[in-house]
């Protein structure tokens, strides 16, 4: 039925030969490494063959859209998961970086037709970021990879 969530165990699995990419921000790297681990685990759990996920590192969250755009233009990837961490400080810098990263990632996905997912944690504190990188609140990297898998299947099926 339309509008109902599909349970994770019944989601279609991608072809084992589908290739995916992860673009990860080095800013707040210890936390982002947890996101990358979560994404890689989700790709494997989703049926992506070993060695079919490439990880690319960029300086910060602001650079994620450009890297994703470059990768989708290669036509090698069924989907790209963008991962990063932006923690609010005392200036409005947080708002600009987080907003532009989100808008840029969306723009790349819409312009290319390739699933490019948003796995960027936007947190008010480092503790909140850790909680979203495999702590009590889950792993946003795994969620971004799962979304890339599901959307890649959606795009291929249509």
CA 102 to chain centre: 11
Contacts of 3 (CB under 8 A, 6+ apart): none
In-domain check, residue 11: no
93 is catalytic: yes
In-domain check, residue 86: yes
Alpha-carbon gap, residue 12 to 153, rounded angstroms: 7
Domain harbouring 45, CATH code: 3.40.50.960
pLDDT given at position 131: 96
In-domain check, residue 1: no
In-domain check, residue 12: no
Please count the structural domains in the chain: 1
In-domain check, residue 54: yes
Alpha-carbon gap, residue 121 to 140, rounded angstroms: 7
DSSP code at position 61:
G
In-domain check, residue 37: yes
pLDDT given at position 92: 84
| 105: containing domain | 17-157
pLDDT given at position 136: 85
In-domain check, residue 87: yes
Among candidate residues 56, 70, 93, 153, the one labeled active-site is 93
pLDDT given at position 143: 97
Q: Which residues of the chain have pLDDT under 50?
A: 1-2
pLDDT given at position 13: 59
Q: How far is CA 144 from CA 24, 36, 139, in A?
A: 12, 10, 9
pLDDT given at position 15: 56
């Amino acid at each position: 039925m339309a509008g109902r969530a599909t349970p994770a165990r019944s989601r279609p699995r991608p072809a084992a030969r589908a290739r995916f990419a992860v673009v990860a921000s080095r800013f707040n790297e210890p936390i982002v490494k947890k996101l990358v681990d979560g994404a890689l685990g989700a790709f494997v759990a989703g049926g992506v063959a070993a060695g079919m996920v490439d990880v690319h590192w960029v300086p910060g969250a602001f650079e994620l859209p450009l890297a994703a755009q470059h990768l989708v233009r290669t036509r090698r990837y069924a989907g790209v998961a963008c991962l990063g961490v932006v923690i609010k400080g005392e200036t409005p810098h947080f708002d600009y970086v987080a907003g532009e990263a989100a808008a840029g990632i969306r723009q790349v996905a819409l312009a290319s037709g390739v699933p490019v997912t948003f796995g960027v944690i936007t947190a008010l504190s480092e503790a909140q970021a850790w909680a979203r990188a495999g702590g009590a609140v889950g792993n946003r990297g795994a969620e971004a990879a799962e979304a890339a898998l599901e959307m890649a299947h959606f795009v291929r099926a249509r």
